[in-house]
Amino acid sequence: MLELVRRTEHSTIGVTDDGTPNGKLLGMVTSRDYREGKDPIDMKVKDFMTPFAKLIVGELGMTLKEANQIIWDHKLNTLPIIDKDQKLQYFVFRKDYDSHRENPKELSGGDKKLLVGAGINTRDYKERVPALVEAGVDVLCIDSSDGYSEWQYETLHWIKDTYGDKVLVGAGNVVDQDGFNYLADAGADFIKVGIGGGSICITREQKGIGRGQATALIDVAKARDEYFKRHGVYIPICSDGGLVHDYHMVLALAMGADFLMMGRYFARFDESPTKKMKIGNNFVKEYWGEGSNRAKNWQRYDMGGNESLKVEEGVDSYVPYAGKLKDKPEDALALISRLALIDDQNLASHYICVASQLYTQKPFSHDKVYGYILNYLSAEKVCALEAEDREFVEHFLMNIEGMPQQLIERYQKDREAYFKKQLEQGVSK
């Protein structure tokens, strides 16, 4: 039992006649029923568990409000719910009630259950999807680095033919208009955009495929809007990859994303399931790609058999530990303030568009690209680049559609002042 507690990190255990989650309830064990290190290690569970006769239980079919009232009236932490045959169905916890109150904006349904999504592949979906639907999954997503394939088309068709609109299913990933239209016609409810842009993804290096994230996002967003005009169906797109800091969210949203995939961003927090570790003097959390050997998700890429991944498309890494997500309201405030800036001042969106195109069309380093954004494409930042890079930046600055003339004039004035200063200091560039 102690091993079970350590493995699951749950201290409340229902004891059933056959050891299954839905067997006949015989009793219950909590952390208050034993003292590790004090009680004999060979003591049997039946000797210290709270037997069924002493348990307060709820009946299957009662409302959550009724269950919570029993918990409150009897000062319980846990209420087992059983059916007419005394078989355990589930537990209702006091801490869940407290959690709902503390997190009023949690993503939950009318029954107060958290919404749950599941990743599937294009191999065993005929077995996996029915099991997930029966378990109550709310949304499915075909998980693949390259979604523009016949396998995804067939998977989408089968799910829609079998379940219709009972379950939402997303597909991807794609990086161009053809890929979007292909999956949209197959019945995808949403489509993920991005190949190789994730911090722990090495698809581009391993396979030589992919596209700059911003270029892909802008292109697919255009396809989404055109598809809506043709068919009257709006299919949301998700920007997947390359989002590390809060202002990266603004970039993706400004370029047309409807929602964001932020694995690395969320992996830093306590709420993510990976272990917190100390390396040197810093606390970190583990983070790895689903295409890595560590994830052992070979069905996503491999051709089968007992061998390891033939082509590894992800790596192991660590991310700086950042505490609890709920304790980081400044990230949300920063996002809102930046979005407000874009909404109120069109210039800001132009800055983002220019910098994003620079980032995707040419392999600039992050500090250069985001320097342009944070400093509003200051001439000093641009002119400090090597001649080839500077010409590339200026080409976009001068030719991007809708760029305000006053911005161009300001840049030219600042550029002239910059080089005049360089000449006075004896620097040739």
Residue 353 annotated to the active site = no
Q: What is the dihedral angle through the alpha carbons of 418, 424, 427, 429, rounded to the nearest 10 degrees? A: 40
Q: Could you say which of 211, 224, 268, 300 is catalytic?
A: 300
Q: Which of 141, 201, 238, 383 is catalytic?
A: 201
The 10 Å Cβ neighbour count of residue 210 is 20
Number of other CB atoms surrounding residue 429 within 10 Å: 12
Closest CA to 370 of 238, 245, 253: 245
Interacting residues of 249 by C-beta distance below 8 A, sequence separation 6+: 243, 260, 262, 335
Residue with tokens 């992996």: 267
Q: Tell me if residue 128 is catalytic.
A: no
Q: Could you tell me the two tokens for 383?
A: 């002119």
**207: closest CA among 287, 298, 123, 301?**
301
SS in 3 state form for the chain? CHHHHHHHCCCCEEEECCCCCCCEEEEEECHHHCCCCCCCCCCCHHHHCEEHHHCCCEECCCCHHHHHHHHHHCCCCEEEEECCCCEEEEEEEHHHHHHHHHCCCCCECCCCCECCEEEECCCCHHHHHHHHHHHCCCEEEECCCCCCCHHHHHHHHHHHHHHCCCCEEEEEEECCHHHHHHHHHHCCCEEEECCCCCCCECHHHHHCCCCCHHHHHHHHHHHHHHHHHHHCCCCCEEEECCCCCHHHHHHHHHCCCCEEECHHHHHCCCCCCCCEEEECCEEEEEEECCCCCCCCCHHHCCCCCCCCCCCCCECEEEEECCCCHHHCHHHHHHHHHHHHHHHHCHHHHHHHHHHHHHHHHCCCCHHHHHHHHHCCCCHHHHHCCCHHHHHHHHHHHHHCCCCCHHHHHHHHHHHHHHHHHHHHCCCCC
Residue type, 8: T
Which residues are catalytic, by number?
201, 300
